[in-house]
Amino acid sequence: MSRITSADLFGIYDSRGRLTVEASIALASGARSRAGAPSGASTGVHEVMAFPKGGVPEALATFRARVGPRLIGLDASDQRAVDAAIHEVDGTSDFSSIGGNTATAVSIAAAMATAEETGRPLWKVLARPGVDGRSFPAIAGNCLNGGRHAIGGPDIQEFIAFADCARPEDSIRAAVRVHGLVGEELHRRLPKTALGRGDEGGWVAGVSNLEALEILTDACAKARDELHLEVRPGIDLAASEFFEKGKYRYREQTLDTEGQVGFVSKLVDRFDLRFVEDPFDQEAFDAFAALTKAVGGRTLVIGDDIFVTNEHRLRMGLERRSTNSILIKVNQVGTLTDTFATVDLARSQGLSTVTSHRSGEVPEGWLAHVALGTGARGLKCGILGGERVAKLNELLRLGRATGT
Ligand code: PGA
Ligand code: ZN
């Protein structure tokens, strides 16, 4: 154990070219670390604020005046103490004073400094009770983008290859192959059209929701035949983004809540979806429960915006049996300690956790360690782009290190 002797915060750019923050920490032992925080676009209303009102410049000024000095002298390996200090300086319930991204960057950097100092891999520093690092997450790889991440694409935000193999290298290979096959089919169907790349590295094309699902499902089947690896289709609807005045408003149809439950259940059956994230608005606990009851035995029904990695929101969902899975994004809630409270609750209640990137990412690999250390059922990540590949490659390294 050693004390923090310096702590800094700097502005860096995320994968969308927007400013975010990175924290750097030095310990008395000489160990050093640096961690950046990502940013979302389809953010949930119950997430903490990524930055104070004045954005990154205010986050930096606030850090220098209040957060940094408070961290000096703390034991970096005492994650609870570090995170409690961050909360104490902030003094709000949503990190609107110092910014949730400051909290995330500092919290992760403290854990990384401890890993550096003790010579342990980061995932072990983060490991939750009962996690031995032998069970690797499936890869939920974003193959085709829509919604807020891809203007001109389908309404559904993400079309995902859910590659569920024992070895991380196999899951990654299968997901990457599906991404490639989706691209080939899009080129075949739209020969004269330039295809784009969305914020999370998936293809962008002017196809409908159903066309996109057909293409994805066929690509998964082809990849399974070719590679003999388990990979199935999945979606993140990010439905809060097109829920207006009580209705789900797609380009082709408008559905009430009951209609949406029926529509998504049919998609699960027709396309054999194994991963269904945010099929309803972020307040629709009962609609989630109806879907989970109908299809939860054969697919992961995952809450992202509805829970925002928040223990209290998860409790509300557990009471109503809303989902069988929860998405985990550290900066939705701020610190690692807050994240662990939610993960531990989910695990104790038999819910699967899926660790996730954000649409605006930093080119760092710590997310793979969070996934492995928290015993995640899946790692949701893009396939293309250095900031996505950094996470996949880190998981590959972890697989090599443990011989998995
Ligand atoms: P965000 O979205 O990172 O833009 O918030 C990702 C998601 O909805 O899973
Ligand atoms: Zn989502």
pLDDT at 404: 66
Q: What are the boundaries of each domain within the chain? A: 4-120, 138-402
pLDDT at 10: 98
- List, for residues 68-103, the tens digit of each pLDDT value: 999 999 999 999 999 999 999 999 999 999 999 999
Distance 267 CA to ligand 1 centre (A): 21
Contacts of 312 by beta carbon, 8 Å cutoff, 6+ apart? none
pLDDT at 45: 94
Distance 395 CA to ligand 1 centre (A): 21
Among residues of the chain, what percentage have pLDDT more than 70? 99
356 CB near ligand 1 (under 6 Å): yes
Query: How many CB atoms are closer than 10 A to CB 105?
Result: 30
Query: How many CB atoms are closer than 10 A to CB 290?
Result: 20
359 CB near ligand 1 (under 6 Å): yes
Dist CA 318 CA 316 (whole Å): 6
Distance 100 CA to ligand 1 centre (A): 16
For 388-392, what is the mean pLDDT? 98
Tell me, yes or no, if 329 is annotated catalytic. Answer: yes
For 282-300, what is the mean pLDDT? 98
Q: Does the pLDDT value for residue 270 go beyond 90? A: yes
pLDDT at 141: 98
Which one of 304, 328, 353 would you pick to mutate in the ligand 1 pocket, going by the greatest count of ligand atoms within 8 A of its CB?
304
Dist CA 142 CA 202 (whole Å): 5
Distance 60 CA to ligand 1 centre (A): 24
pLDDT at 215: 98
Q: How confident is the prediction for the chain on average, in pLDDT?
A: 97
Query: How many CB atoms are closer than 10 A to CB 141?
Result: 32
Q: Does the pLDDT value for residue 216 go beyond 70? A: yes
Neighbours of ion ligand 2 (CB under 5 A): 236, 277-278, 304
Distance 383 CA to ligand 2 centre (A): 16
Q: Does the pLDDT value for residue 149 go beyond 80? A: no
Q: What is the DSSP string of 294-351?
A: HHTTTSEEEESTTTTT-HHHHHHHHHTT--SEEEE-HHHH-SHHHHHHHHHHHHHTT-
Pick one of 3.40.50.10440, 3.40.50.1010, 1.10.10.10, 3.20.20.120 as the CATH number of 138-402: 3.20.20.120
Active-site residue among 47, 329, 380, 391? 329
Strand, coil or helix: 37 = coil
Dist CA 144 CA 236 (whole Å): 11
DSSP 242: G
- Return the ligand number nearest the Cα of 355: 1
Q: Does the pLDDT value for residue 128 go beyond 90? A: yes
329 CB near ligand 1 (under 6 Å): no
Domain with residues 4-120, CATH architecture: 2-Layer Sandwich (3.30)
102 CB near ligand 1 (under 6 Å): no
Which H/E stretch holds residue 241? none
For 133-157, what is the mean pLDDT? 92
Among residues of the chain, what percentage have pLDDT more than 90? 95
For 250-258, what is the mean pLDDT? 95
199 CB near ligand 1 (under 6 Å): no
Q: Which of 10-24, 192-206, 228-242, 258-272 has the lowest mean pLDDT?
A: 192-206
Judge contact between 205 and 154, C-beta under 8 A: no
Active-site residue among 22, 116, 200, 230? 200
The residue whose C-alpha atom lies closest to atom 1 belonging to ligand 1 is 40
Which one of 358, 379, 387, 388 would you pick to mutate in the ligand 1 pocket, going by the greatest count of ligand atoms within 8 A of its CB?
358
* Total-model pTM: 0.97
